Structure 1
Amino acid sequence: MNINFRQLTLSAALTLVFGLPANAHNSVVGLDNSVMRKDSTVHNDSIAKRHSADKAKKDSTAAKKENAYDKLMKKGGSVRNGLFTVRHIEDKWYFEVPQRITDRMLLAVTRFTSVPQAFKELPGEEVNHSTIYFEKRDDKTLLLRAYAKTQVADDKEQMAQLVEKSTIDPIVAKFDIIGKNPKTGDMLVEVSKFFVQDNNIFGLSSSDRKVVNVTALQADRSFIDTMTVYPINVEVRTLRTYSCPDGRMPASRTGFVTVGMNTSIVLLPEKPMQPRIADNRVGFFETRQTRFSDGAPSKGYAIINRYRLEPKDPKAYKQGKLVEPKKQIVYYIDPATPKKWVPYLIAGINDWNAAFEAAGFKNAIVAREVPKGSDISPDDARYCFLRYLPSETENAYGPCIVDPRSGEIIESHICWYHNVMNLVRKWYITQCGPLDKRAQTMQLPDKLMGELIRFVSSHEVGHTLGLRHNMIASSATPVEKLRDKKWVEANGHTVSIMDYARFNYVAQPEDGVSERGLFPRINVYDKWAIKWGYQYRPEFKDPWKEAKQLRTEVSEALSHDHRLAYCGDEGRGQDPRSQTESLGDDNMKASDYGIKNLKRVIAHLEKWTAQPDGQYDDLEEMHKSVRSQFARYCLHVQRNIGGMYTNTIPGMPVTEVVPRDVQKEAIDWCARNVFEAPLWLYPTSICTKLNLDAEDEIVNRARTLVSYLLSSNMVANQYKKSQRALKPYPVQEYLTDVFHAVWKPLGKEGDKQDYYRRQLERAYVNTLNQDINADPSKDKSTLSLNAANSDARLFLLQHLDTVETFCRKQQASLSSNSLNALHYAELIHEIELIRKKYDKAE
């Protein structure tokens, strides 16, 4: 059936299509034109209302957020723009953190700015430092994390994903985002509480509080004082009050102490400097890391600490010309420094330019005074400073703070204690008084004191450049060259200022050596080390490829010049060539020369230290200094006995036992200078003035040395090393040499040397008793496991026979009732008791 729908009425069409009665169309919603118009309006109104409600809800939410920010802004307060926008509104502090700063590394350094009297730290000294970064978690939360990664992997390798998951950085703080700046989109957070709470980032950790003897932080008496804002940093000053049980501080008698702190938050480079892989044959401070790779086992390594030094003119640099760096290393002198010492401190810093020239840079480093009217502050971590501290401590130290990603030194503060002047004065008078008339008084001329300060300044700056101590450096100089005026003035008495080789105490008055040959200087090793660490090598885009080439260059340099040797034990290892305060390649010969000069000092000490008021404070201080210097000589020699050389020179054994003849020479030196009582060190006139008990000091020094030489640990060590030495020093021969150094026939009973010899011989037998009858289960602190399980006790039992034979022979040659005969009889009795105790234990 063909139907023309166009000709049908609407009701007919409905009837036909839907089977509805013709009058039913009014009940069908939306099919009648009039109904459609009406209901469409209702429908659209409904939609409009819903849209309006949704919009209102969104607008309400947005309004709430905006209102929280706007409401706060209406309260006024102060605002400073820089790295962050910092707001101070009423009594609270706020940061507006830009999105571009999130995930950027920041260096946070906190230092003391003010402390109570007798506090264990001083203004300018570091509290802590960390690398931190902000991370946006969501629209409501901003996190602060501490960078704690020491494991790395190439981003292109699969291992990188695993390393990333295994090295998540800790969240150290959470901040609620109050709102966003409508113009910049920066996130507003309140930081008040975090900066005045104690935490490992901006305050004292629990371990820090123990060090400085304070306990709980008093929140009601702790405040943020100021926040100063700069383009790449924010400086936050706080005042904190702690409970304090330490009654030694005058302020703590109230039960509380208050300290001031400054925290610098500095933006680190977005792109880290390319690290330089450490080589253990060159002495740099290091940042330890572990490298993971898809195709190789994990590898521990280190990157060196150094400033970022790049040439202004790379083309000229490549041609071998000296080029200025893009950014000079600048050290500012603390404005509080006494003015007369400033030129010498500056000179000590600028002296390092000679070393940087070896690396291809000119004017690489400079020291300056803070310009008047400048906002350069010692507390600002953007700047390197030499901080002058009002301390009685006789020291100085030079730390540096680095970017852990690259080893780049970001800033350094040399801490210079006021009384370091007293230390160098004592050193110079003690070591060079016989050689320099200016040092024959307690009041050194300012020019001499200035030069002493200059050398200490250079040493500490070396540390801040990344250099570690190199105590083996002075052993590269033959002892006799230290007395050669022409040679030592041209070459210096040590090849590195990073050694503890203070002054040339070997030179004798008749040698005529001037100050040029007495003072340490930046020398051959320092220049080579700076060249290795700071040379610009743009041809290497990968630090590992660079490291391979540099290792080859180090090997070539060491093979060519043994003076460049480095020993990283800080003078605490077994190598007698690497010792603090030692000089030359022969400890025994150098110490003999040193003692000659000490005897000259002792002969004139009362005159040099005479005080107008008739007191003896200066005499007491200087006599103690001379005795300490003598003790150093003894230790220098002692380290040769049972020692081991450590070598970094290609082709040489990594370790070597100190030769037999050198050890025998050392024992002979001890016999002449320690076991033969050094009475010259204790003149009656000085001891009377100082009420000094020389006897105890002499006896204790000798007794300690005997205990060292005869200990089970030493005997076991000597036996073990004799098995591997090219020229062995058998234990029996060693013990015989020690015996002959101590046991001498006694002469007249009233002789002072005999008195000290009897004391020494008793100490010898007592030491044998302690070692032979030691109980390993009880004497673990003095008896090593190797010694307890070795033949050391058997060797000492054999040696007891030698001692007994000598005592009986000497006893037979003396009258029975003489003091010396009684002495030997007593020792024989002691030996019998030692054997009985041993037999009983067995």
Structure 2
Amino acid sequence: MQKFSGFFPFYWDEKGGRILLEIDKLDQEILYVSTLPNGVGSNDLGLDRGQIGQTRIVKFVKSGPKILLLQPNYDFRAVSQNAEERQSVENSFAQSVLWGFKAEAQEGGKVLVDLTPFLLRDSHQLGDKLDDLKQGSYKAEESRSAVFLPNTKAFPLNSEFEAVVTLTGKAKGREISSVTPDPTAVTVHMHHSFIQLPDNNYQPRAFDPRAGYFANEYMDYAAAIDQPIVKRQIVRHRLQKKDPSAAVSEAKEPIVYYLDRGTPEPVRSALLEGAAWWNQAFEAAGYRNAFQVKMLPEGVDPMDIRYNLIQWIHRSTRGWSYGASITDPRTGEIIKGQVSLGSLRERQDYLIAEGLLQPYEEGKPTSPEMLRVSMARLRQLAAHEVGHTLGLYHNYAASTKERSSVMDYPVPRIKLRPDGTVDLSEAYTTEIGTWDKRAILYGYKDFGSQANEAAGLNAIIAQTLKDGYLFMADADARAQGSAHPLAHLWDDGTSAADALNHVMDVRRVVLDRFSEKAIAPNQPMATIEEVLVPMYLLQRYQVEAASKVLGGLYYTYAVKGDGQTVTRLVEPAEQWKAFDALMRTISPRELALSEELLAKIPPRPVNYPRTRETFTARTGLTFDPTGAAESAAATTLEFLLNPQRAARLEEYHARHNDQPGLAAVLDRLVKQTWQAKPEAGYAGELQRLVNTLTLQKLLALAAAPQAPVNVKAQATMKVEELKKQLQKEQKSGKDEGRRATAFAAVRMIEQFEAAPEKFQAAPALPMPDGAPIGDDGCAGF
């Protein structure tokens, strides 16, 4: 057999196709990680190349002829010098045996086992995930699976094993069928790493909710009764100065990230540059050249635990990028950072720049501006995802203080020149943010001794707060009904209402001059729609931001005694300003497209079908401008009439009479829709569409199971008032279109009145995908 010497020696049996593992570390805890080096290729399924599974502490335990791979339970422990106390906690909670082996041979303290069945199983649980996603029922089939020797390697600190694993079954979903040659056989690679645990010289650092770090948590049953039983430590790399007494020093061992060699130019240079921005933050924390980015050396296995990796991955659709880590569960120490960047994202940024700039004029060279902007975006993307692998959360309030963090989601900063043309010269930032420097200072500053650390960390947080920085994470920004007026994805500036009005100004200028100049020569005219979609929906994220101001609550992750504002209601004037900005987005003037543009969008040609990134049409093969307006207006109204937002409006108005109540908001909404001066022609059609959508969303609010009684009462009363108006208009209205709309509206209200608890309004046409396609639960963007 061929022997591989390393952390765990093993043997390759060519004739039997087996890996025989020599276990010379019985009862010694190690790290075990399963990864997916070759993925499925669909972001909807979330099974990407390089995806890291759970990081586990395990040990091989011998019992007679059996060897068990045991995972102790580190979620519950006793950090104590008392062995009996530690044993008491260990005996109180279940452990997990991940696999059982039969000893093939024994010699002294060493045991030989056949590792092959362990490697050929569905370690990444793809079968369960595909079943949950309704893609079909799949199981690993051993006859179509085998050890992949090229990526089965031995290193001093880790032993790496890889297998080609085929899952067979009956496909049921469109996604799995779209990315596999034969959807009855899904073949991927699964990788297994046995890793030496770090030494005990790493010093965990205390978690602080204001600092911006992920936490490593466990329950410590040895904690004193006056101390929290839940212990939290920040997740970070190990980094120490060579000279802790020096203001600036080189690191004992710098943090080095390596870029996937399969990354092409000019992407390669952009990613190298953007990821390297983090050295600016480490320099501010007192290190010299402590963070480095290099190309992965030729021949190096990217799965080698010794290499932090930035990889360029490919999918069938554009999707999220993310930063993940292999972390020591005992301490929170990051052992390997791994960034995955979706290759189709740059094309979306290029597409957006095409729509904003309209660069394709006959007889003129194509502007290099689209490439410049998309590469600027990739630099920031690289910095963002590397930030996650350094331990940092998103900071969705950073854009309120002049782009203070690359850990926010950046919207391109679009300016209008005096001549009405678009200026993208400052679309994206070109350096690490000032918040990022404060965060790295908290996580990585070397205090020289543990005695100085607690006071030093408190001083860093105090100065960060004094400088006016605010940290807000995912839960405060992502939910549709969230309340914080400053925590948003893809927004810019301190006022959500002002930013929305600015976006609408830019959008109007772009749409008024939109033409075939947005598409390259020799492209079908119908593909204007692909570029039109992000321009028509340019306001979509700022709409979400402005909606949070209405019924909003300003708050912080305040700690007792830190002087921060704990909570504060948003000023009424700011709320009404946001309301007016939202109403602008559903006005017929803003929803309409010019006749000149509509005449240039034909039905889709053969082999250019509609996709999830084009508008849904109710008009058959032809482009549907009313359908596009429906998807945009419905989204604004859904945010505006969110049940949680409505409940806050009622509560805050009850507590403070000057706060806008739900009744006042509904009054203004109806006044500016159903009670507005009737429009004629195309504008009138759009007005009637918005009116109907307003009624549908109002009825949905009145029927929402999660809405409190007072909200349902207000919504139902407003519906009854509107019904009386509609009944009059149905009988005496002069415009046939408005009379028909009133007739249908009355029928809808009567259906609601017959069974409010069962009422469901017809769903509006959805917006085309805007955010990266697929699950947004990942750490990146």
Q: TM-score, normalised by structure 2?
A: 0.81
Q: Where does 1:316-715 land on structure 2 (aligned, <5 Å)?
A: 316=246, 320=247, 322-372=248-298, 375-395=299-319, 396-430=321-355, 444=369, 446-476=371-401, 493-505=402-414, 508=417, 515-516=425-426, 518-519=428-429, 521-540=431-450, 546=453, 549=455, 552-553=458-459, 555-569=461-475, 571-572=477-478, 573-613=482-522, 615-616=524-525, 618-648=527-557, 650-681=562-593, 683-686=595-598, 688-690=600-602, 691-703=622-634, 705-706=636-637, 709=640, 714-715=645-646
Question: Paired residue for 1:279?
Answer: 208
Q: Output the amino acid matched with 1:692.
A: F
Q: 1:712 to 1:257 in 2, by over 3 A?
A: closer
Q: Provide closer, same or farther for how the CA distance between residues 675 and 263 of structure 1 changes in structure 2, counting only shifts above 3 A.
A: same
Match of 2:145 among 217, 222, 233: 222
Instruction: Tell me if the contact between 1:474 and 1:582 (Cα under 8 Å) persists in the aligned partners.
Output: yes
Written as runs of structure 1 = structure 2, the 5 A alignment for 1:162-181 is 162-167=88-93, 169-181=95-107
- 137-146 vs 300-309, greater mean Cα deviation: 137-146
Give the superposed CA RMSD.
3.8
Instruction: Tell me which of 728, 738, 749 is aligned to 2:669.
Output: 738
C-alpha contact 1:430 1:598 (8 A) present in aligned 2: no
User: 1:139 offset after TM fit, Å?
Assistant: 6.4
State the partner residue of 2:736.
819
Identity of aligned residues (%): 22
CA distance in 2, matches of 1:362, 1:660: 49
CA shift at 1:761, angstroms? 3.4
Asked if 1:258 is matched to 2:258, the reply is no
Deviation at residue 349 of structure 1 after TM alignment? 1.5
Letter in 2 for 1:606: S
Task: Give the Cα–Cα distance (whole angstroms) in 1 for the partners of residues 394 and 534 of structure 2.
Answer: 23
Deviation (angstroms), 1:417: 2.1
Q: Contact 1:558/1:565 (CA < 8 Å) preserved in 2?
A: no
Kept in 2: contact 1:709–1:738 (CA 8 A): no
Say which SS state the counterpart of residue 639 (structure 1) adopts: helix
Q: 1:288 aligned to 2:214?
A: no
Contact 2:39 2:189 in 1 (8 A): yes
1:596 CA drift (Å): 1.9
CA–CA distance in 2 between the matches of 1:839 and 1:610? 48
For 2:749 and 2:190, how far apart are their aligned partners in 1? 67
Deviation, structure 1 residue 253 = 3.6
1:214 CA displacement: 5.8
Structure 2 letter corresponding to 1:637: A
Paired with 2:696 and 2:414, the residues of 1 have a C-alpha distance of: 37
Q: How far does the alpha carbon of each residue in 1:169-194 deviate from its partner, in whole angstroms, 9 at most, with x for none?
A: 32222334444446xx5333332322
Letter in 2 for 1:377: D
Distance apart, 1:327 and its partner CA: 1.5
TM-score between the two structures when normalised by the length of structure 1: 0.76
Cα offsets for 1:677-718 (capped at 9, x unmatched): 424545542464144211123245435544654576654431
- Structure 1 CA distance, aligned partners of 2:236 and 2:166? 37
Which consecutive unaligned segments of at least 5 residues does structure 1 have?
1-76, 477-492, 775-781
2:716 aligned with 1:791: no
Q: Tell me by how many angstroms 1:356 deviates.
A: 0.9
For the 8 Å contact 2:42–2:315, the answer to whether it is kept is no
**8 Å contact 1:432–1:503 — kept in the other structure?**
no
Q: Tell me, in whole angstroms, the C-alpha distance in 1 between the residues paired with 2:184 and 2:396.
A: 45
Structure number with the bigger relative contact order (C-alpha 8 A, sep ≥ 6) is 2
After superposition, the C-alpha distances for 1:609-655 in whole angstroms (9 at most, x for unaligned) are: 24322513552211011123232333232222222222236434423
Letter in 1 for 2:581: W
Pair 309,768 (structure 1): closer, same or farther in 2 beyond 3 Å: closer
1:111 corresponds to: 36
User: Cα gap change, 1:169/1:689 in structure 2, threshold over 3 Å: closer, same or farther?
Assistant: same
Q: Aligned partners of 1:461 and 1:243: how far apart in 2? A: 36
Specify which structure has the higher proportion of helix. Answer: 1
Q: Kindly tell me: are residues 730 and 136 of structure 1, through their superposed partners in 2, closer, same or farther at Cα, counting changes over 3 Å?
A: closer
The answer to whether the aligner puts 1:311 opposite 2:241 as a matched pair is yes
Among 151, 162, 166, the alignment partner of 1:237 is 162
1:394-429 deviation line (CA, Å, top 9, x unaligned): 242221121111111111221122212112223444
Q: Secondary structure at the match of 2:147?
A: strand
Counterparts of 1:117 and 1:93, CA distance in 2? 31
What is the CA-CA distance between 1:530 and the residue it aligns to? 0.9
The unaligned stretches of length 5 or more in structure 2 are 603-621, 759-781
Alpha-carbon distance, 1:499 to partner: 0.7
2:25 pairs with 1:95 = no
SS in 2 for 1:273: coil
User: 1:561/1:442 Cα in 2 relative to 1: closer, same or farther (>3 Å)?
Assistant: same
Alpha-carbon separation, structure 1, partners of 2:756 and 2:65? 80
1:721 maps to 2:631: no
Any conservation in 2 of the 1:305–1:407 contact (CA below 8 Å)? yes
Between the aligned partners of 1:139 and 1:766, the Cα distance in structure 2 is 69
8 Å CA contact 1:470–1:570 kept in 2: the answer is no
Contact 1:266 1:382 in 2 (8 A): no
Q: 1:152/1:726 Cα in 2 relative to 1: closer, same or farther (>3 Å)? A: farther
Alignment match, 2:611 = none
- For residues 561-605 of structure 1, give each alpha carbon's deviation from its aligned partner in whole angstroms, at most 9, with x where no partner exists: 123433442622321311111111111211211222222322443
* Aligned residues of 1:332 and 1:386 also touching (Cα < 8 A): yes
- Verify the 8 A CA contact 2:22 2:113 in the aligned structure 1: yes
Aligned residue for 1:791, secondary structure, equals: helix
Q: Tell me the matched-pair count.
A: 716
Distance in 2 of aligned mates of 1:472 and 1:167: 40
Task: Write the letter of the residue equivalent to 1:303.
Answer: Q
Kept after mapping to 2: 8 A contact 1:116/1:249: no
Partners of 1:111 and 1:379 within 8 A in 2: no
Relative distance call for 1:606 and 1:517 in structure 2 (3 A) is closer
CA distance in 2, matches of 1:575, 1:522: 25
Question: Match of 1:283, as an amino acid?
Answer: G
Report what 1:26 is aligned to.
Answer: none
Counterpart Cα distance in 2 of 1:209 and 1:794: 42
